[in-house]
Amino acid sequence: MDSLSSLAKLLIFAGFFLLVAGCLLLLLGKISPLGRLPGDIYYQKGNFSFYFPLVTCLILSLVLTLVFNLLRR
């Protein structure tokens, strides 16, 4: 029964984390230029469109790498 209790706590924590992360992404999407940076690839022709946020992915990768390296120390 103890493992079931720890699984429940993990799911509650994961749900709370996803809720907070989702709210932050909604807020950042309105005030931040992330996702619309120069270097992000957007192609549109007729009724077809393709979007790949290349520079946004690179910046997020760099920031997350720095944060996780700082937290690990």
- Model pTM? 0.56
Q: Cα dihedral sign for 64, 66, 71, 73? A: positive
Instruction: State pLDDT tens for residues 32-42.
Output: 777 778 888 98
Contacts of 29 (CB under 8 A, 6+ apart): 35
Rounded to 5 degrees, φ, ψ at 37 are -85, 155
CA distances from 69 to 17, 47, 49, 63 (A): 20, 43, 37, 10
Instruction: State pLDDT tens for residues 11-51.
Output: 999 999 999 988 888 887 777 777 778 888 989 999 999 99
Domain boundaries, the chain: 1-32, 34-73
